């Protein structure tokens, strides 16, 4: 009997501790929740109708970062919807694809250290999607700034000069040019500097933790994604989002006509728009 009582006591304490942990996590997530989600035009109108109307405009686009996780899915969604008459991939190397869907892709190989020499690659596009980026762990502090700021900004400048009127930028939750953290500061700086270029339409996407099994993930990132993935399946959270939702949101938002020239879609906005595209 003493053993049974001890077991019951232990289980009771464990249950109590688990309850406290869950409550604390819920409070923390609520604290970090998106403060005032941006209001964007909903896709109440039939998606197929929006796609058909856009398709008739015979527009072209380019994708930066198509070799990355988000860029690859943006490209896939663009091909599936077939809303552009021409899709150009701009990157540092030629990419290899399998399947007829990729046959008509145009690929422009550029040297990001000498982008001015490749200005022609950015000419004649109506819409630009930028999913270009690296990590400090992979490229070092200087390398991170060079890719996520210098390459991204220069590409936007060349695109604007080449006639691009609509630019979609994948950024990060918490981006702030005044942040004391390098990652968030750089993201915030490039957001602001691209806005100053004056695109007719400029959309910034600030996803939280991207739920994807990235091959180059560090153990801590892998654990964080697995935890947030499990938690977000039960509770609504603004801290994580499936990477597929980000890609779908970027493409779906292209079809809409917001009232403002510049819009910022926080994590919850991305999730909502990404899900609406699946309906």
Q: Which residues pair with 87 in a beta bridge?
A: 61
- Retrieve residue 46's tokens: 């039939």
Contact 256, 40 (CB under 8 A): yes
Q: Which spans in the chain are helix H? A: 2-31, 47-55, 69-81, 136-145, 152-161, 182-195, 219-232, 243-254, 267-276
- Alpha carbons 7 and 16: distance in angstroms, whole number: 14
Q: Choose the catalytic residue: 86, 154, 177, 183.
A: 183
| Residue 187 falls in the annotated catalytic set | yes
- Alpha carbons 128 and 169: distance in angstroms, whole number: 8
| Residue 183 falls in the annotated catalytic set | yes
Please state, in angstroms and as integers, the Cα–Cα distance from residue 166 to each residue in 160, 251, 257, following that order.
Answer: 9, 12, 11
Q: Choose the catalytic residue: 129, 151, 160, 187.
A: 187
Cβ neighbours for 213, distance < 8 A, ≥ 6 positions apart: 222, 225
Contact 118, 50 (CB under 8 A): no
Catalytic residues: 183, 187
């Amino acid at each position: 009997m003493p053993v049974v009582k001890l077991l019951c006591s232990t289980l009771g304490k464990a249950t109590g501790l688990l309850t406290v942990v869950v409550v604390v996590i819920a409070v923390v997530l609520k604290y970090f929740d998106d403060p005032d989600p941006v209001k964007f035009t909903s896709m109440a109108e039939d998606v197929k109708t929006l796609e058909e109307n856009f398709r008739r405009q015979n527009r072209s686009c380019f994708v930066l970062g198509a070799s990355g996780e988000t860029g690859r899915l943006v490209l896939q969604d663009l091909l599936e919807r077939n809303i552009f008459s021409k899709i150009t991939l701009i990157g540092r190397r030629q990419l290899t694809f399998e399947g007829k869907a990729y046959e008509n892709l145009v690929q422009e190989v550029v040297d990001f250290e000498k982008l001015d020499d490749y200005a022609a690659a950015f000419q004649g596009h109506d819409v630009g999607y930028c999913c270009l980026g690296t990590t400090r762990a992979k490229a070092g502090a200087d390398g991170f700034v060079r890719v996520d700021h210098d390459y991204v900004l220069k590409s936007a400048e060349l695109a604007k000069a080449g006639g691009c009127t609509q630019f979609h930028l994948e950024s990060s939750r918490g981006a702030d040019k005044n942040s004391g953290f390098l990652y968030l500061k750089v993201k915030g700086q490039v957001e602001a500097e691209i806005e100053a270029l004056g695109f007719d339409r400029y959309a910034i996407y600030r996803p939280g933790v991207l739920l994807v099994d990235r091959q180059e993930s560090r153990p801590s990132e892998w654990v964080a994604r697995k935890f947030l993935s499990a938690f977000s399946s039960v509770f609504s959270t603004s801290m994580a989002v499936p990477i597929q939702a980000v890609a779908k949101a970027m493409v779906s938002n292209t079809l809409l006509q917001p009232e403002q020239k510049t819009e910022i879609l926080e994590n919850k906005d991305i999730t909502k728009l990404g899900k609406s595209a699946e309906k």
